[in-house]
Amino acid sequence: MSKAFSTDAAAKVNITEVNRTGPLVEYERRTAAGELVDGDACQVGTLKELQRLYDEIFESADACGLDRYAVPEKIVRNRWFWSRLMPQSSYAPVKGLYLYGGVGTGKTMLMDLFFDQLPCNWRKKRIHFHDFMLNVHSCLQRHKGVTDPLEVVAGEISDEAILLCLDEFMVTDVADALILNRLFRYLFSNGIILVATSNRAPHNLYEGGLQRDLFLPFIATLKERCVVHEIGSAVDYRKLTSEEQGFYFIGKDLSSLLKEKFQHLISEYIASPQVVEVVMGRTLQVPLGANGCAYFSFEELCEKPLGAADYLGLFKNFHTLALEGVPKFGLHNRTAAYRFVTLVDVMYENRSRLLCTAEGSPQELFENIVTVSDARQMAPRTSSRSRRNDDSDLCVDNELGFAKERTISRLTEMNSKEYLEQHAEEERQLSQELANADAVQA
């Protein structure tokens, strides 16, 4: 779904200033065709950075080894083995790009615009950071017992892709934090070019996390191998979509209503308990499922020890989630709030549909989640004897405080008319393709 741009005549770009291919050129084509409206100066400035990187990569494509057909497969496959015998570094002649900015500033759309303009025969990969780290941990399990499994995994990643695009770079897990420095040292020395998007500046990554001193060298490595660029737009473009009130219901004791809506979605199908497979042999119990729709209570999906891998497994099998009883978040259910944030991230990345009942609007759900900076500004009021009753449930958490804005924005977009119409169209096309395939087999 195209993200809308706010109109800013001063941000117009003269297409003659750049080459005839690339993300900036494609942006101009789309605006001329009416697929996008003109962007603000901050986004156009980011497009210029992406165009600069695009041009540099093309000039150094051979030196970077981007063409997957230019290197014999056997040599590529065994590069990590030979590097053990003859250690050497081969940094890319081009620095990558780390884009960061607030929620809804179009980071993902801009990255996709860049990625889609690159030749399909290049060794390139675009993946959400959640998925990337899940794959890394899965590969580490597979190479258990090897002297340095992290080096082997880095070799496999760089064999597959030299240009690595990671969306939503956000470090919250101590297990991820402790391996990122060594992993990316290996990747960069294998010639990887990193393009990443994040809500956080590099120096704010994993802020306040456990053993952060062991993570700090990664930040230095990231700054050394990437140009850091901030997208400074103050507009959340996802909230420019028109809201649809048919899938997000506010209030308590709405179980009957949600089940009625769920039954309408599954039509004549009969819902029953199901089991889906997730990574490393684990399974997830689905209380009710039918016709691509799954039904869960909030407790079953966010108060049990589940994570991104479980949610990814769920949405590989279901395109719609009916979620009953999303509560307001605070200190008492901080862990569940983290899981809900991850759940929404995975749903959004998979373009899934959410049907839910909640105790408040997306903004109200997170009003008791604040960053350290917010808490300091609130300190005089919260330390007062006259403070509000709900201040006792105030949750001061930097990572969750930053992540909540992204979640609010995504929930808003997922409930928009445009998002729901696109989801319906994609499901219609998929159903048609399956029907055609069945007809051919018959």
Distances (CA, A) of 220 to 90, 145, 305: 19, 30, 33
Residues 3/355/285/268 CA torsion (nearest 10 deg): -120
Q: Calculate ∠ Cα 279-281-284, nearest 5°.
A: 75
pLDDT in tens, the chain (442 residues): 344 443 343 344 444 444 468 888 888 887 777 666 555 667 788 889 999 999 999 999 999 999 887 755 544 444 545 455 445 558 899 999 999 987 767 788 889 999 999 999 999 999 999 889 989 999 999 998 888 999 999 999 999 999 999 998 988 888 899 899 999 999 999 999 999 999 889 998 988 788 889 999 999 999 999 999 998 765 555 555 544 556 889 888 889 989 999 999 998 899 999 999 887 778 999 999 999 999 999 999 999 999 999 999 999 999 999 999 999 999 999 999 999 999 999 999 899 999 999 999 898 999 999 988 778 777 554 444 334 445 678 999 988 988 898 899 899 888 888 888 888 888 878 777 776 766 666 6
* Separation of alpha carbons 151 and 136, rounded Å: 11
Distance between first and last Cα of the chain: 35
Q: Confirm if 318 and 289 have CB atoms less than 8 A apart.
A: yes
Measured CA to CA, the distance from residue 122 to residue 120 in angstroms comes to: 5
- For residue 438, the model assigns a pLDDT of 64
Instruction: Give the whole-angstrom CA distance, residue 348 versus residue 167.
Output: 12
Closest CA to 105 of 227, 243, 238: 238
The single-letter code of the amino acid at 347 is M
- β-strands 163-167, 124-128 pairing: parallel
Q: Could you report the per-residue pLDDT of 63-75, keeping only the tens digit for each?
A: 999 988 775 554 4
Residue 169 neighbours by CB under 8 Å, 6+ apart: 98, 129, 196, 197, 198, 200, 205
- By the 8 A CB rule, do 327 and 333 touch? yes
Q: Are 138 and 132 in contact (CB under 8 A)?
A: no
Global confidence as pTM: 0.62
d(CA 177, CA 206): 7
> Which pLDDT value is given to residue 383?
41
CA atoms of 321 and 95, how far apart (whole Å): 41
Contact 324, 314 (CB under 8 A): no
What is the total residue count of the chain? 442
The pLDDT tens digits of the residues spanning 404-432 come to 988 998 998 888 888 888 888 888 787 77
Q: Which domains does the chain have, with CATH numbers?
A: 23-68+89-230 (3.40.50.300), 246-379+391-441 (no CATH)
